[in-house]
Chain A
Amino acid sequence: MSEEAGVVIIGAGVNGLGTAYHLGKMGYDDVVVLDKSYICSGASGRNGGGIRQQWTSEENIKLALESRKMFEKLNEELEQDLEFYQGGYLVLAFDEDESKDFKKNVKLQNSLGVESQYLTPEEAKEIVPELNISDVVAATFNQTDGTIYPFKVVNGYANRVREMGIDIRDHTEVLDIVTEGDEIKKVKTEAGDIKTDTVVNAAGGWSSQIAEMAGAEIPNKPVRHEIMVTEPYKRFLEPMVISFKHGIYFSQSEHGNVVGGMGNPDEEVGVNQTGSLWFMKNFSKTLIDFIPRFSGVNMIRQWAGLYDTTPDAQPILGTVPEVERFYQINGFSGHGFMVSPVVDKVTAELILGKEPSMDIDRLSVDRFEADDFEAEGAVVG
């Protein structure tokens, strides 16, 4: 049996379901969302929930700023408390080079409308009184940054999308994307074929594999990143604290748990979502170094997810040269959740042939071919 759909979205994470949500909101519901596992099973359900606007590339700053404004209205739109807590992001500098960069970053961020501030170590300590500032050289802070509870956002989209009459099929793996010339003909799944001319690749760490099925090439590489959670406590930490030098980030959720992760510089490319003792030990050491009081706090759970990385740590959006109507919304390199509202909306606009509410031409995959890109410098974890 073969069926038809106007749009097939691959990936039931925040960006796949968010795009479906915006399509539905624009009055278009001939959409099927597929996922090879359960809803929110990839990076959307494995990240730290950070919402940050303090980036170093103009594109990322603009996407993050607009998305933060949209997150502020999302409780109302999805009719539930998404636990968005704007306690700010405190970014720490540990040497003079970092401190110099931070001054430059704040200037660029301010010029684009992000109200970040450059702080002394003592000012940073006022925001986090328990912070060990003995090696801290400077910091930046932006109050409207914060954290959100990812599952509630993704489930909120899923519920709304279903109400709109859009079909979400979990545990339905895509096996192939059949093309003729430069046109998409159908998507083959383990549960039958779906005729369509439009496919959205929102497959996160599996995006390269999906692109390959359609005969398109994107440079994304999946890299494991690990994360953990503590027992819940009464709030003692207002902002998300991060350091690029140490690769660490941690914040306290509205529920009270401290959620934090740290990147392993020796991590190899590949689909690996298991935890490691390296992470448990080195994260714990670094965390205690930052805030000594964490010594006696218990870690209760640890897991891992995939950063879908690109050469410039910026997402890949829009169409590809090889195949028509094959929309990319991937390559987020660890910050796909926090920029999702605006990129989902723009992707829906592009699919429906509407004027995009933000210019995302510079984020198409062509930039790598033309060698016209500059790397984002503020990736953490």
Chain B
Amino acid sequence: MTVVICRCEDLTEDDIVEAIEKGYDELETLKRHLRMGMGPCQGKSCIPLAERILCRETGKSPDDIREPTSRPPNKPVPFALLASEEVDDHE
């Protein structure tokens, strides 16, 4: 049975397991190797699933898995909106 883990980048469970076996054994390196979590959904579905697979394959507990940095924006935003007066850039 094929289980799709990352819908944005079309990655299956087998792809993730294979990458872990190659030595990409943390979320940050898996992400960079497979582009997992770097699509329009920003890893909302794939990262938690990949975290479970990592625990299973490496025997680590979820507490020992390093969380990847979350990046803005939370969801895709058109440039026209970001460029508009709606955005106050004086933080």
Please give the residue numbers on chain A whose beta carbons come within 8 Å of chain B beta carbons, in ascending order.
38-41, 45, 151, 155, 159, 162, 229, 231, 255, 275-278, 280-282, 284-285, 287-288, 294-303
Please give the residue numbers on chain B whose beta carbons come within 8 Å of chain A beta carbons, in ascending order.
22-24, 26, 28-29, 32-33, 35, 38-40, 42, 66, 69, 71-73, 76-80, 82-83, 87-89, 91
Contacts A275-B72, A280-B73, A288-B80 known; A298 to B40 CB distance under 8 Å?
yes
Contacts A280-B73, A299-B73, A303-B71 known; A155 to B32 CB distance under 8 Å?
yes
Subset of 18 A-B contacts with CB under 8 Å: A45-B32, A155-B29, A155-B33, A159-B22, A275-B71, A278-B91, A285-B83, A287-B79, A295-B78, A296-B78, A297-B79, A298-B40, A298-B78, A298-B79, A300-B39, A301-B42, A302-B71, A303-B69
Kindly state the separation between the CA atoms of A285 and B32 in the bound complex, as whole angstroms: 29
Chain A residues, CB < 8 A from B91: 276-278
A281 touches B28 (CB 8 A): no
Given contacts A155-B33, A295-B80, A303-B69, 18 further A-B contacts (CB under 8 A): A40-B29, A151-B32, A155-B24, A159-B23, A276-B91, A280-B72, A280-B89, A284-B79, A284-B83, A294-B79, A295-B78, A296-B78, A299-B73, A300-B39, A300-B42, A300-B73, A301-B73, A302-B71
A3 to chain B, nearest CB (A): 22
Kindly state the separation between the CA atoms of A297 and B76 in the bound complex, as whole angstroms: 9
Kindly state the separation between the CA atoms of A288 and B84 in the bound complex, as whole angstroms: 11
Contacts A38-B26, A162-B23 known; A299 to B32 CB distance under 8 Å?
no
A277 touches B32 (CB 8 A): no
A40 touches B32 (CB 8 A): yes
Chain B residues, CB < 8 A from A287: 79
Kindly state the separation between the CA atoms of A39 and B30 in the bound complex, as whole angstroms: 11
Chain A residues, CB < 8 A from B72: 275, 280, 301-302
Chain A residues, CB < 8 A from B24: 155
Is the contact region of chain B dominated by helix, strand, or loop, or is it mixed? loop
A287 to chain B, nearest CB (A): 6
Chain A residues, CB < 8 A from B80: 284, 288, 295-296
Contacts A277-B88, A278-B89 known; A284 to B32 CB distance under 8 Å?
no
B57 to chain A, nearest CB (A): 17
Contacts A38-B28, A277-B91 known; A301 to B71 CB distance under 8 Å?
yes
Chain A minimum-CB-distance residue to B35: A255
Kindly state the separation between the CA atoms of A245 and B22 in the bound complex, as whole angstroms: 44
Kindly state the separation between the CA atoms of A90 and B78 in the bound complex, as whole angstroms: 25
Choice from B29, B71, B73, B79 contacting A38 with Cβ under 8 Å: B29
A231 touches B32 (CB 8 A): no
B87 touches A281 (CB 8 A): yes
Chain A minimum-CB-distance residue to B77: A299
Chain A minimum-CB-distance residue to B38: A301
B59 to chain A, nearest CB (A): 18
A282 touches B89 (CB 8 A): yes
Chain B minimum-CB-distance residue to A273: B69
B33 touches A300 (CB 8 A): no
Chain A minimum-CB-distance residue to B32: A151
B38 to chain A, nearest CB (A): 7
List of 10 A-B pairs having minimum Cβ-Cβ separation, nearest first:
A298-B76, A284-B82, A284-B83, A295-B80, A151-B32, A285-B83, A284-B79, A281-B89, A278-B89, A277-B89
